[in-house]
Amino acid sequence: MTLVDRACIVAVAAIVCPLATAHAQSAEAEALFRDGRDLVKQGKLAAGCDKLAASERLETSVGTLLNLGDCREKLGRLASAWAAFRKAEAMAKRANGDDRRQAEASRRAAQLEPRLPNLEIDVPHPVEGLVVRRDGELVGQAQWNTALPIDQGSYTIVAEATGYQAWRTTVPIGFGASREVVVIPPLERLPVASSPGVAAARSPQPPIGAAVPPATPPTPGAGTWSTMRKLSVGVAAAGTVALGTGIAFGVHANALRDQANRRCPAVVCPDPEGLALNKRAQTAAARANGLYIAGGGTLAAAVVLWFVGISGETVVVPTAGDGRLGLALSGRF
């Protein structure tokens, strides 16, 4: 190693080494900064760059940016490194008095600039609401038609707008100075579905005087809530009420019978009150039995109405005979 080479190394070290002390001040950013530098020294560049970037997001500083740029350059992310050096240069310039690190950031950025690959996304036929994304990241309209530095890798470009077919392509970006141009073609409109009214208006009409075929009656639908099914719900409710009332009369009849048995335990009862209780118990029991029968029959009719209501072709016919009045149901189910 020549004396000149040693002098260059000492000069660079004099500038870069103090960066460890010129880092962020917050505790969290400080911890991330130190972890990042340690990982870089261990050769774990990707993890170290992530730690330094996290520190810079929490609290940006010239020292953190210079170290982040150096790490990214070693990782081969030249555009990201160049951006970090340019940002460090601007911060040092605003600090007034940090000329040494400003010069270092400017020198490192200038060395990288001729080696940067660039990607240009041209939009010659923009449409209203057009959105362009690069690997999911929004590319604003101000970035269209301009070559921008970009890291090496493969990128997916997507262009989309409401009412248009989305367009996408993938472009590889290699190392070294290059300029890749992606031209977004005119987007194709999506077909518009015709409404029933428009389709009917466009259908051919028969000539005047021509025989018009009879309209085909619509096929009855199997609607869940047909008229018959709605009726069945009402009938079921009535049957439920009848059964409930019958149960109440049955309970009342049992209570009256127990009272009568307490007053007249023997077969022959001389107590008029006991006889009256027994008669009332019989009347309540008869009513309960009648309501049981009526409620059960009504619920059975509700079930029939429910299934008949499936086809929607049910006919209800009133019937009368032998002193009784009812309804006859006919249909397909």
Please write down the HEC assignment for all residues of 123-163. CCCCCCCCEEEECCEECCHHHCCCEEECCCEEEEEEEECCC
Q: Is residue 204 part of a domain?
A: no
Domains of the chain: total: 3
Asked if 121 and 106 sit in the same domain, the reply is no
Which H helix or E strand runs over 120?
strand 117-122
- Single residue among 153, 168, 183 that ends a domain in this structure: 183
Amino acid 87 reads: K
**Domain interval for residue 268:** 227-330
pLDDT in tens, 286-295: 887 887 788 7
Instruction: Give the end of a domain, one of 58, 83, 113.
Output: 113
- Domain membership of residue 33 (yes or no) is yes
Q: Among 64, 97, 113, where does a domain finish?
A: 113
Q: What is the total residue count of the chain? A: 333
- Give the number of C-alpha atoms closer than 13 A to the C-alpha of residue 10, restricted to the C-beta side: 7
> Is residue 64 domain-shared with residue 48, that is, in the same domain?
yes
Cα angle value 311/314/316 (rounded, 5°): 160
Cβ-contact 129, 166 below 8 angstroms:
no
Residue written as tokens 């940090």?
Answer: 98
- Domain at 38, CATH number: 1.25.40.10
What's the pTM?
Answer: 0.50
Per-residue pLDDT of the chain (333 residues; tens, 9 = 90+): 444 344 444 344 444 444 444 444 689 999 999 999 999 999 999 999 999 999 999 999 999 999 999 999 999 999 999 999 999 999 999 988 889 999 999 999 999 999 999 999 999 999 999 999 999 999 999 999 999 999 999 999 999 999 999 999 999 998 888 889 999 999 999 998 765 555 555 555 555 555 555 555 555 444 566 777 777 788 788 878 877 887 987 888 788 777 777 777 766 677 777 778 777 878 888 887 887 788 788 878 777 776 776 654 455 544 545 545 455 555 554
Q: Are 39 and 126 part of one and the same domain?
A: no
Tokens of 146: 């301009």
Give the 3-state secondary structure of residue 297. Answer: helix
